[in-house]
């Protein structure tokens, strides 16, 4: 019994830092956090890599027509939005590194920190 309690205590102690690190759900994206590569995916498949800049700029390929030809991003009360010549799309922040398109967009798109996952 004592071994079980020690094991449970160790598991909780190790999980606590991981939980504490992911405390950004529902908060605006900051310029420092935004800068870098983000992978756009839909339906469980990576589509393209979008690069955000700290100066609110966006570099993105066509991404199979999923994005409004974004040229800028802005923080929102619970995440961020990409905007361009053909409109904008808002993303809710689910974690430190994951943003999900708003339901109002009618799209199922995720932006995940980093480049595409290598196929293997």
pLDDT, tens digit, 9 for 90 and up, residues 56-112? 999 998 888 888 889 999 999 999 999 998 889 999 999 989 999 988 888 899 999
**At residue 5, does pLDDT exceed 50?**
no
Domain 25-113 has CATH 3.40.30.10: no
Helix ranges restricted to H, 25-83: 31-34
Angle, CA 118 vertex, CA 88 and CA 73 arms, to 5°: 20
pLDDT at residue 40, as a whole number: 95
Cα 111 to Cα 31: distance, rounded to the nearest angstrom: 16
Residue 35's CB is within 10 A of a number of other CB atoms, namely: 13
**At residue 18, does pLDDT exceed 90?**
no
pLDDT at residue 114, as a whole number: 93
The whole model's pTM is what? 0.76
């Amino acid at each position: 019994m004592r071994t079980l309690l020690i094991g449970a205590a160790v598991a909780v102690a190790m999980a606590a830092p991981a939980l504490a690190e992911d405390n950004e759900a529902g908060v605006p994206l900051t310029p420092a956090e935004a800068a870098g590569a983000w992978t756009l995916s839909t339906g469980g498949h990576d589509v393209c890599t979008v690069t955000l800049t700290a100066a609110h700029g966006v570099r993105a390929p066509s991404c199979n027509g999923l994005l409004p030809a974004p040229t800028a991003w802005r923080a929102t009360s619970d995440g961020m939005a990409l905007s361009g010549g053909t409109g904008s799309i808002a993303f809710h922040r689910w974690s430190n590194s994951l943003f999900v398109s708003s339901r109002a967009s009618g799209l199922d798109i995720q932006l995940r920190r980093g480049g595409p996952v290598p196929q293997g």
